[in-house]
A and B are shown apart, each in its own frame.
Chain A
Amino acid sequence: DIQMTQSPSTLSASVGDRVTITCRASQSISRWLAWYQQKPGKAPKLLIYEASTVERGVPSRFSGSGSGTEFNLTISSLQPDDFATYHCQQYNGLYSATFGGGTKVEIK
């Protein structure tokens, strides 16, 4: 099974900061990676798929990069609405998916 490791698990930042979250796969997943944002008590929201394609309606401050085993989610200028937990997900496996452990972005 493919394992996904996210870092850091918690990140303290201020409004306006540039923030980067990393997700590493235990084996190559090409570009089959998605990023989600989740707020407390809510369902996850798709932000990025295929490593770098931004979902419609997602602000342009969100971007994704990487391929193979290492991927990044970057928020170019953190906004108050961005304080949330972010999850990566690989979907390279034929019939399954795996999520990372999540990264909570907190107010510094």
Chain B
Amino acid sequence: EVQLLESGGDLVQPGGSLRLSCAASGFTFSSYAMNWVRQAPGKGLEWVSVITGSGDNTYYADSAEGRFTISRDNSKNTLYLQMNSLSVEDTAAYYCARDFRPATLADAFDIWGQGTMVTVSS
């Protein structure tokens, strides 16, 4: 079964850091670009970042640029999001999501994890 499972969400103080993980199974992980998408409580979806299948190229939303780092370990079938300098505005459920087609970069997202909650509060 194709599956994504996030972990690492937690309560963190403003200015703090957190690393999220997304474990993939059931497909050839290295063939697909992977994304992070977040959703603040009661709000819409916001794309955060994407990484190519090889990990060579990464792109960020303006809200994440310079503070967040996306990475992947294809030997472990795992995607990461390192988040630094967190603010209350980063409070959200964070989802990892797979690009629909292999070897593409801008695409629909066909597989989503269940989400992990990040709460930034003092």
A43-B115, A44-B112 known; A32+B44 contact, CB < 8 A = no
A43-B95, A43-B115 known; A99+B106 contact, CB < 8 A = no
Taking the closest CB of chain B, its distance from the CB of A74, in whole angstroms, is: 18
Which B residues touch A94, using CB under 8 A?
A: 105-106
Rounded to whole angstroms, the CA-CA distance of A69 and B7 in the bound complex is: 37
B108 interface residue (CB < 8 Å to A): yes
B113 interface residue (CB < 8 Å to A): yes
Q: How large is the interface on A (under 10, 10 to 19, 20 to 34, 35 or more residues)?
A: 20 to 34
Which residue of chain B has the shortest Cβ distance to A56 in the bound complex?
B110
B118 interface residue (CB < 8 Å to A): no
Rounded to whole angstroms, the CA-CA distance of A89 and B45 in the bound complex is: 9
Classify the secondary structure of A's interface with B: loop
Most chain A CB inside 10 Å of its own CB: which residue of B37, B47, B115? B47
A43-B95, A46-B100, A49-B100 known; A99+B45 contact, CB < 8 A = yes
Which B residues touch A50, using CB under 8 A?
A: 108
Which B residues touch A95, using CB under 8 A?
A: 50, 57, 59, 105-106
B73 interface residue (CB < 8 Å to A): no
A25 interface residue (CB < 8 Å to B): no
Taking the closest CB of chain A, its distance from the CB of B102, in whole angstroms, is: 15
A46-B100, A102-B44 known; A34+B108 contact, CB < 8 A = yes
With contacts A43-B114, A89-B47 known, what are 5 further pairs, Cβ within 8 A?
A36-B109, A42-B114, A49-B110, A94-B105, A95-B50
6 contacts between A and B (CB under 8 A): A43-B113, A87-B45, A95-B105, A97-B109, A99-B44, A99-B45
Residues of chain B touching chain A, judged by Cβ–Cβ distance below 8 Å, are 35, 37, 44-47, 50, 57, 59, 61-62, 95, 100, 105-110, 112-115
